[in-house]
């Protein structure tokens, strides 16, 4: 049987690359390499029949594929988004039956339930990731979320962090624990986030071999995105770690453990923090609130207030996007401006 000829790729006066396929001119990309790859994808998608898979099965397969690539918190958030969307369309609904109109109706339903614009935007981004997976698996030709109008919802420029008084109060509250070992452990948990900027998962994975006491350095292994980074130990954190290692440690590996020596999970760290929430009486945007991430935000804000370079803060936090770090720099700049205005 005679093999079909691959369509020719040509460049037009605008400098972009096109081809004529099935009687229509198609734009392929700005470079010849992108054009070749795009043409290959179009031809393969046309030649390979699409499978009729249910949205419920697709979401399960996609979440399973993320197990070693994304953080547990990210996977949990996506799973919640997909459960809500599947409830809206029905678990056995075919992926191919979901159109841009379906996505638009779901978006409007979210707004009708008074969800914040940023929350709805995040839901659509998670759904887009799911349908990009469906495109790669050749279950659909296009991602329906891409055809829905985007939601302009800039990230909150004001991170939730503790004042210096709240920070001191939180550490003093740990001393009210009934057993001295518990207050030392809880204080060490909070200090590791306040003085080293650890995420909750990083604090749970914190081990003694990660600490170089001679050089006063902490190695944060397998941070977000699988990245490693180095953090210098402040005097306060160094002394707390040294004391705990010498007099209180229950394990030669995990730093934060139960009294029996079992490493604490991420969920256990949250349950510990919950005991201090009401007593701290911290408010954010008019509501009582406190999370372990607030301590990491406090670490970043303190560094910026002391004039630390944004690039250095980005490295210490393990941020891949400098725009995330800039939120903390903006807070410190605002504080300086307001301080000058109070002079009258």
Query: Which three-class secondary structure state does DSSP give residue 114?
Result: coil
Helix axes 292-305, 266-280, angle to 10 degrees: 70
| Per-residue pLDDT, 130 | 95
Q: What is the pLDDT along the chain (344 residues), one digit of tens a residue?
A: 344 567 888 888 888 888 887 667 888 888 888 888 888 877 776 554 456 789 999 999 999 998 877 777 788 899 999 999 999 999 999 999 999 999 999 999 999 999 988 889 999 999 999 999 999 988 998 999 999 988 775 555 567 888 889 899 999 999 988 889 999 999 999 999 899 888 888 888 889 999 999 999 988 887 666 678 888 899 999 999 999 999 999 999 999 999 999 999 888 998 888 888 878 877 776 666 777 888 888 888 888 777 777 777 777 777 666 666 666 555 555 544 444 444 44
pTM above 0.85, yes or no: no
Whether 1 maps to a domain, the answer reads no
- Give the domain range for residue 89: 55-147
What is the rounded distance in angstroms from the CA atom of residue 110 to the CA atom of residue 295? 31
Residue 173 in contact with residue 163, Cβ under 8 Å? Answer: no
Q: Is 191 helix (H, G, I), strand (E, B) or coil?
A: helix
Same domain, yes or no, for 35 and 169?
no
End-of-domain residue from the set 147, 175, 195: 147
Tell me if 89 sits within 8 A of 98, measured CB to CB.
yes
Say how far apart CA 186 and CA 179 lie, in whole Å: 11
Chain mean position to CA 56: 24
Question: Does a structural domain hold residue 2?
Answer: no
CATH number at residue 210: 1.10.443.10
pLDDT at 38: 83
Total domains, the chain: 3
Give yes or no for a contact between 220 and 198, defined as CB atoms under 8 angstroms apart. Answer: yes
Measure the CA–CA gap between 41 and 47, rounded to whole angstroms: 10
For residue 232, the 8-state DSSP code is E
- Is residue 24 located within the same domain as residue 98? no
- Give pLDDT, residue 344: 42
138 with 272, same domain?
A: no
**Whole-angstrom Cα distance, residue 74 to residue 46?**
34
């Amino acid at each position: 049987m005679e093999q079909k000829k691959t369509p020719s790729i040509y460049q037009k006066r605008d400098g972009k690359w096109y081809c004529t396929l099935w009687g229509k001119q198609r734009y392929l990309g700005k470079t010849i390499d992108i054009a070749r790859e795009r043409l290959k994808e179009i031809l393969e998608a046309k030649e390979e029949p699409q499978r009729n898979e249910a949205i419920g099965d697709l979401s399960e397969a996609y979440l399973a594929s993320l197990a070693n690539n994304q953080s547990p918190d990210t996977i949990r958030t996506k799973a919640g988004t997909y459960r809500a969307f599947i409830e809206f369309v029905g678990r056995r609904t075919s992926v191919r039956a979901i159109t841009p109109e379906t996505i638009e109706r779901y978006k409007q339903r979210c707004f009708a339930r008074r969800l914040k614009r940023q929350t709805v935007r995040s839901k659509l981004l998670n759904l887009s990731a799911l349908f990009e997976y469906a495109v790669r698996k050749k279950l659909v030709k296009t991602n329906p979320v891409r055809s829905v109008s985007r939601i302009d919802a800039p990230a909150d420029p004001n991170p939730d962090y503790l004042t210096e008084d709240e920070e001191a109060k939180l550490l003093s509250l740990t001393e009210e624990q009934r057993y001295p070992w518990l207050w030392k452990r809880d204080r060490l948990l909070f200090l590791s986030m306040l003085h080293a900027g650890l995420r909750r998962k990083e604090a749970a994975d914190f081990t003694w071999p990660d600490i170089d006491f001679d050089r006063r350095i902490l190695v944060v292994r397998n941070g977000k995105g699988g990245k490693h980074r180095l953090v210098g130990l402040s005097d306060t954190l160094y002394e707390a770690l040294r004391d705990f290692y010498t007099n209180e440690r229950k394990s030669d590996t995990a730093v934060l453990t139960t009294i029996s020596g079992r490493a604490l999970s991420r969920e256990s760290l949250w349950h510990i923090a919950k005991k201090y929430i009401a007593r701290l009486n911290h408010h954010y945007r008019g509501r009582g609130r406190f999370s372990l991430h607030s301590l990491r935000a406090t670490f970043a804000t303190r560094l910026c207030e002391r004039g630390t370079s944004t690039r250095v803060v980005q490295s210490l936090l393990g941020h891949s996007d400098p725009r995330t770090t800039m939120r903390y720099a903006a807070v410190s700049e605002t504080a300086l401006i307001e301080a000058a205005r109070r002079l009258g």
